[in-house]
Amino acid sequence: MRRAAWVLLLVVAFAIPWEYSLDFGEPFGNVARVAVIGVLLALIPAILNEGRLRMPGALPVLGVMLLVWFCLSCFWTVDMDESLRQLRGYFQEIVIVWLVWELVDSLRDLRWLLRSYVAGAAVLAVLTVLNFVSAARTGQVRFVAEGHDPNDVARLLDLAFPLTALLVGSESGWPRKLVTGAYFPLGMLGILLTGSRSGLVSATIALCACAALLFYNNRRAFFAGLFALPVLLASAWVIVPLQTFVRLATLPSELMGGDLNQRSEIWAAGWQAFVRAPFCGYGVGSFVAAAGVAPIDTAHNTMLVLVVEGGVIALLIGSLLAVFAVALVLQLRGSVRIALGAALLVWMVSSLVGTVQENRATWLLLGILAVAARLLGEDAAVASAAGRRDSRLARTTFAPPVARESV
């Protein structure tokens, strides 16, 4: 049963980027939700049969604390129907941290989890390109996979860039490296087609980190990408509609003097709502009712939605999650630190203009950070017990070249 749960977890990671493109309707929901339920149905009997449960780390515990606090907020919520709906979603999302923590036992498992997410991101990029192909003649400016929001698509594609760079350095043989590296042009094309300005900013950050990672870990792949860059830029200029580039080009003016596509008005309304109920908030899922904004609007800021819905206590838990995530990155070494640190930075930048706390990719990333740090600690302990100076992690392709050469 544990093996079945592990396979289903890979399905979860694969499905998360494009989950809203395949929805089975109530009561099942989208493909990622079904896969998460499948993991739970397989894992819980396995745990009961084995009689063992891995000691939880800081991030799974903080995730549970946030969920519990949101459950308590139902006692004073101003929108009970929305609170109950959001709670169901939060449970399905936050539980992913624990599933990753419980099921990933080795670096090989971690590598397969990263491969699954990158493959899912490639599917999302392909679906976005297909939407462009089918709607290019309609005068549409922004293109997106069915069921998705353009900014969310860009963020999901951005997160896969540093993970791809890490995998390129760890794959054996050029065929595998080329197949994995093919995500770079495909993902960037998908981001450009969304017309997401925040996604373009995050993509720039992620790609700069990827360049540093490839230069640090795989010089041949770095120079191959460098020589291919002019061709890729020219191809993007030919493929992507001019009006989409015009929209992206308004980024500097929006940052300097614009309202960030009416986000500033939403933030002002959210701040006024927080001032009226700063300690306990208005209840999970109540941002729209509390701030008095349009039903189709979101907070467009992760910390703002936490503090409005859950007050300063939810803000404190959310801040601790971010602090512990950064601390875990600092515990890592070499290429793993660069890649996961870049992914976390992309997530943090995205959280400034989006509500990323209610997305499965957020909790998958936190789970990956937690388990990577745990594996490092376990390998270091094994190496120390065996009298070795270097751990197994320092002798894998996830480690810096210098460490590998010293073995």
Give me 69's structure tokens.
């606090």
**Beta bridge pairs of residue 268:** none
| Backbone phi and psi for residue 389, each to the nearest 5 degrees, phi listed first | -85, -20
Query: Tens of pLDDT along the chain (407 residues)?
Result: 888 999 999 999 999 999 999 988 887 888 999 999 999 999 999 888 888 888 888 999 999 999 999 999 999 999 898 899 889 889 989 999 999 999 999 989 999 999 999 999 999 999 999 999 987 667 788 899 988 999 999 999 999 999 999 998 777 777 888 888 899 999 999 999 999 988 999 999 999 988 888 887 777 777 877 888 888 888 888 888 888 888 888 888 766 765 566 778 888 888 998 989 888 999 998 988 888 887 777 888 899 999 999 999 999 999 999 999 999 999 988 889 999 999 999 999 999 888 888 889 999 999 999 999 999 877 665 555 555 555 555 444 454 443 333 22
Nearest CA to 284 among 89, 62, 82? 82
pLDDT at 389: 52
Give me 331's structure tokens.
């515990």
pLDDT at 384: 56
CA dihedral 134, 137, 140, 141 (to 10 degrees): 100
Give me 374's structure tokens.
């745990």
In angstroms, the CA 290 to CA 297 distance is 12
pLDDT at 390: 52
In angstroms, the CA 397 to CA 172 distance is 9
Whether cis (ω within 30° of 0) applies to the bond prior to 150 is: no
In angstroms, the CA 95 to CA 291 distance is 29
DSSP state of 55: P
| Backbone phi and psi for residue 30, each to the nearest 5 degrees, phi listed first | -80, 175
Long-range contacts of 210-216 (CB under 8 A, 24+ apart): 210/161, 210/162, 210/164, 210/165, 210/184, 210/342, 212/338, 213/162, 213/165, 213/166, 213/169, 213/335, 213/338, 213/339, 213/342, 214/165, 214/168, 214/169, 216/334, 216/335, 216/338, 216/400, 216/401
CA separation, residue 203 to residues 212, 216, 347 (Å): 14, 20, 11
State the pTM of this model.
0.90
Cβ atoms of 398 and 336 within 8 Å: the answer is yes
